[in-house]
Structure 1
Amino acid sequence: MKYAYTILYVEDVKKTMSFYENAFGFQNKFITPEHDYGELLSGETTIAFASHSLGNSNLKKGFKQLSIHEEPNGIEMAFTTENIETDFKNALAVGAVEYESITQKPWGQKVGYLRDINGFLIEICTPIKH
Structure 2
Amino acid sequence: MAELPSCEKIESLSVNCDYNFNIGSEHIGQQCAANKSDEKLPSVRGIEDIGVRYGYTVVFVKDVGLSLSFYRDAFGLQPKYVDERRTWGELDTGSAIIAFTPLHQRDATIACGVQEHDASIPPINVAIGFLVEGCKSEGLEDDKNVTTRVQSVQKVYDRAIDIGAVPVQAPEMKPWGQIVAYVRDPDGVLVQLGSLVKRSK
Is the TM-score greater than 0.5?
yes
TM (normalized to structure 1)?
Answer: 0.94
Q: Does 1:57 align with 2:108?
A: yes
The structure richer in strand per residue is: 1
Ranges in structure 2 where 5+ consecutive residues have no aligned partner: 1-51, 135-151
The alpha-carbon deviation at position 123 of structure 1 amounts to 0.7
Q: Does 1:4 align with 2:73?
A: no
1:102 touches 1:111 (CA, 8 Å); kept in 2?
yes
Q: Would you say how many aligned residue pairs link Structure 1 and Structure 2?
A: 130
Question: Within 5 Å, which residues of 2 pair with 1:77-116?
Answer: 77-81=128-132, 82=134, 83-116=152-185
2:70 aligned residue: 19
1:78 touches 1:125 (CA, 8 Å); kept in 2?
yes
2:157 touches 2:170 (CA, 8 Å); kept in 1?
no
Output the aligned Cα RMSD. Answer: 1.1
Q: Deviations over 1:8-34 (max 9, x none)?
A: 001111101100000111111111211
Q: Name which one, 1 or 2, has greater alpha-carbon Rg.
A: 2
The alpha-carbon deviation at position 108 of structure 1 amounts to 2.1
Q: Percent identity?
A: 31
The alpha-carbon deviation at position 44 of structure 1 amounts to 1.3
TM (normalized to structure 2)?
Answer: 0.62
- What CA distance in whole angstroms lies between the structure 1 residues aligned with 2:126 and 2:114? 15
